[in-house]
Amino acid sequence: MGDLSVQNLVVEYPSGTDKVRPIDGFDLDVAAGSLVILMGPSGCGKTTLLSCLGGILRPSSGAIKFGDVDLTSLDARGLSIYRRETVGIVFQAFNLVPSLTAAENVMIPMLAAGMSRRAAFKKAEQLLSRVGLQDRMSHRPGDLSGGQQQRVAVARAIALDPPLILADEPTAHLDFIQVEEVLRLIRELASGDRMVVVATHDSRILPLADRVVDLVPDFISMDRPPDTVELAEGEVLFEQGTMGDLIYVVSSGELEMLRELPGGGEELLKVVTKGDYFGEIGPLFHLPRNATARARCKATVIGYTVQAFRERLGTGGVRDLIEHRPLDADDLETPTQESG
């Protein structure tokens, strides 16, 4: 059908008094026929991104195009057609109907699309044979191994020959023998005009990929010279819910740390002044910012990577960051290199 293009994608939702952005300004361009692996730990946005690509979740902003289809411009009916004709989904927990046989499970999308039972059964036979389960057609999910159930799920996902396959942790419940079977099948599916996007934290699949996308940048190991940022009164340094890789120290002036309230408005959490540091938890643990930082007056702050800031704190390192111990006077020297 075509290539996949994701531009400046943002997904934001409320979580208690906070706003969380599992996807924040994400970009991706992939050619048709590719196997794309989305890597990252639980909670980093892999499943959220798959839901957006599958037309299940509408993003807060940004654009997704698959071939000539702009998903973000489709209405409810258009998204329904897109999901039926374009996308096949392989779920982590298989999502097979326990009371149906393997063949009957594979027939579900075909019958929903209006195919006759006879034609659907014949195609189910072909698909199960393709995934090596021609002798398990009449077996119910409870009589199949985890790997066999996942292969039934793959056969169901490709029943209508969709050009886009989305797989969410397809190897999560499989032993090493079952994993080999499923990985080989996934690699075979990504060819010609069909694209396969897999969300996983299983590194065994990486050698098969055409493209690997790490949804969590390795902020902790990254290092670069400190950034000096000058802020005018009322200027925002970062917003609640966004991701960031820098820990900041106030060199001059004051900043307000503000939390957005669910019903609108904002709450002042604290005011940081010269020598105070802030914004450490997000970069350290790959979490969104839990407050907005705004200059109370003209101010200057210095941004450090986690690695650089650890060095400035000394051997206490992470413990001092978590406990938010104050800096010594010698740690407040302004770096000679400035960057906006």
Q: What is the pLDDT of residues 162-204, one digit of tens each?
A: 999 999 888 877 766 677 777 888 888 888 889 999 998 877 7
List beta partners, residue 87: 164
Asked whether residue 99 is assigned to any structural domain, the reply reads yes
Q: What is the domain count for the chain?
A: 2
Q: Are residues 82 and 150 in the same domain?
A: yes
Q: Are residues 202 and 242 in the same domain?
A: no
- Specify the pLDDT at position 294: 96
Domain that holds residue 314: 227-323
- Specify the pLDDT at position 119: 96
CA distance 62 to 54: 15
Q: 227 and 251 in contact (C-beta within 8 Å)?
A: no
Which segments of the chain are extended strands (E)? 4-15, 18-30, 35-39, 61-66, 69-70, 87-90, 164-168, 195-200, 211-214, 227-231, 236-238, 247-252, 255-260, 266-272, 277-278, 292-295, 299-304
Q: 204 and 171 in contact (C-beta within 8 Å)?
A: yes
- Specify the pLDDT at position 205: 81
Q: Are residues 165 and 274 in the same domain?
A: no
- Specify the pLDDT at position 191: 82
Task: Report angle CA 278, 279, 284 to the nearest 5 degrees.
Answer: 125
* CATH number of the domain enclosing 123: 3.40.50.300
State the DSSP H helix or E strand holding residue 130, giving kind and residue range, or none if neither.
helix 117-130
Q: What is the pLDDT of residues 224-246, one digit of tens each?
A: 678 899 999 999 999 988 888 89
Asked whether residue 245 is assigned to any structural domain, the reply reads yes
Q: 224 and 193 in contact (C-beta within 8 Å)?
A: no
Q: Are residues 91 and 175 in the same domain?
A: yes
**High-pLDDT (> 90) share of the chain, %:** 48
Return the DSSP state at 203: G
Q: Are residues 257 and 280 in the same domain?
A: yes
Q: Are residues 146 and 192 in the same domain?
A: yes
Q: pTM here?
A: 0.65
* CATH number of the domain enclosing 275: 2.60.120.10
The pLDDT confidence band at residue 253, using thresholds 50, 70 and 90, is: very high
- Specify the pLDDT at position 228: 92
Q: Are residues 117 and 199 in the same domain?
A: yes
Q: Are residues 270 and 242 in the same domain?
A: yes
Q: Are residues 88 and 120 in the same domain?
A: yes
